[in-house]
Structures are given as C-alpha cells and as structure tokens.
Amino acid sequence: MAKPARPPRPKTYEVGDRVQVRRAYGVVGRVEKVIRRSRPAFFGYLLNLNGDLVELAGVDVVEPPRPMLEEYQHWQDDLLGSEYIALLDDARLTQLRMEWCEAHKTLARMRPDWIPHRRDDVRPVHRVNIIKTTDRYESWSSNGAHRRVRQRHTWWLKCPCGFREAVESSREARRRKTGHDTPIGGIE
C-alpha cells in the first residue's frame, strides 16, 4: 500500500514581503523575521501589523489582496491592458505597478520593461463592470401572523475612468453600460 501524500508546504515569504493573515481579509502586514525552531518543530513569521509584532505559523499567512492587479488581468483577458492603464490616475498606476512587482518579483528584476506603464499613443477605452447586490428586508405583519420578506436588488456600474452609478433594473444597467462602453473592433 502506498504512503499517503504529504500536505503541500506553505509558500515561504522573505523579510519585507507584504502578507495577509489567513481568514482575516484586509489584515495586512510585513514580514519582520522568518522563524524556524526545531524543539518543538515550528515554522512561522514575525509580522508587523500596524506597529504590533505578532508571531504566526506559516500556514496562517497568505498572499495579500491585490485588487488592482486582478482588475488589470481581467482587462488583459480582453486584450485591453494598455488602454486600461491609460484610464488610471498616477496613484492607482503606482499601486498597480507595486502589486505587479510584488506578484512577479523575478520577472520584474529580469524584465523591467514588462512592468505595466502608461503609453502616450494609447486612447482610453471605457469598460463598465456591473455588480448586482441584494438587500433583504424582513418584517412581521401588523398582527404578527406572518413574516414578510422583501428583497431589493441594485445593480452597481463601475468604470476605471471614475464613472459610478447605481440603478434598480438589469435592463437599465445594460443600457447605461452600452452607452458608456467604447466599442471594440467596430465602427465608433
């Protein structure tokens, strides 16, 4: 009978890396020290979380959230990466470059020309993302006989150019998206 497979080793980080505490979205800190002890066996990190030093096991430390990089990769799927960068202001472009360099350390060191940058000849392309949210309201009837449940749907429209709107029907959301988006590959 074959031995069972070992659980995978957690990813290792270096001193100075930005990391997040597992199951605590948004709790981000920097690695101050890598801890390896033999008795008892322990592998972990000493993290600086807003000035507080906290010792955590290696499995309790994960990659930090990178929202700008995720949005950039979504745009790359549509082959719109350089047009997307043209829409960003300087602060958001700096954040995107930092997140990209953080995620691709070796590539950033070997090929700095691959780091996202703004080109002068690119015209901005507008692409609206639609996100549906639902608010649930519960109330009891006046005599307390039954409970009423109402769900209110809202469609949020967001474009990197700063366009932000909320509408209350999917048809209106699609109409406004079509009116704001730049046509791709067709006649403008």
Are residues 84 and 51 part of one domain? no
Given a contact cutoff of 8 angstroms between Cβ atoms, the answer to whether 165 and 156 are in contact is: yes
Using DSSP's 3-state secondary structure scheme, residue 123 falls into coil
Assess whether 143 and 109 both reside in one domain.
no
Taking only the tens of pLDDT, the chain with its 188 residues reads 788 888 776 678 889 889 999 888 778 899 999 998 888 888 889 999 988 899 998 888 988 888 888 888 887 777 776 667 777 777 888 899 999 998 888 899 999 988 888 877 777 778 888 999 999 989 888 888 889 889 999 999 988 777 889 999 999 999 999 998 877 654 44
Asked if residue 36 belongs to a domain, the reply is yes
Are residues 82 and 50 part of one domain? no
Q: Which amino acid is at 69?
A: L
Domain co-membership, 133 together with 171 = yes
Number of domains in the chain: 3
Q: Which of 43, 62, 81 is the last residue of a domain?
A: 62
In a domain, residue 124? The reply is no
Range of the domain at 154: 129-180
Residues 76 and 101 in one domain: yes
Global confidence as pTM: 0.60
Please report how the helices 90-103 and 67-77 are oriented relative to each other, as an axis angle in degrees rounded to 10: 90
**Secondary structure (DSSP) of 135-147:** EEEEEE-TTSSSE
82 and 57 assigned to the same domain: no
Residue 3 counted as domain residue: no
